Amino acid sequence: RYLEKPQEVSFLNIDPEKYLIRVIYDENKNRIWDTGNFLKHINPEEVIYFKNELDVRANWEITEVFDLAK
């Protein structure tokens, strides 16, 4: 999901499994992750992972807070 401002995100009706959450800061807003360019001294766009693996179980609800404040 692509977000342009901070907001709450809900994932509904997902399969019971273990999940990882990854956030990509799309600095140039082109909706893809840019790898950067070593020769032009351009860094890749920042990627942040949620610290815990989420264990989603059938018929359960979980709430996690992922603070993205820089």
Residue 21 belongs to a domain: yes
pLDDT at position 8, please? Answer: 86
pLDDT at position 66, please? Answer: 85
pLDDT tens string, the chain, 70 residues long: the values are 888 888 888 888 899 999 999 999 999 999 999 999 999 999 999 999 999 999 999 999 988 888 877 5
pLDDT at position 20, please? Answer: 94
Query: Which phi-psi region, left, alpha or beta, contains residue 4 (left: φ > 0; alpha: ψ -120 to 50)?
Result: alpha
Q: How many domains are there within the chain? A: 1
Residue 33 belongs to a domain: yes
Residue 70 belongs to a domain: no
Residue 14 belongs to a domain: yes
Is the pTM higher than 0.75? The answer reads no
Q: Which domain holds residue 58?
A: 1-64
Residue 69 belongs to a domain: no
- Of 20, 21, 23, 13, the C-alpha closest to 59 is 13
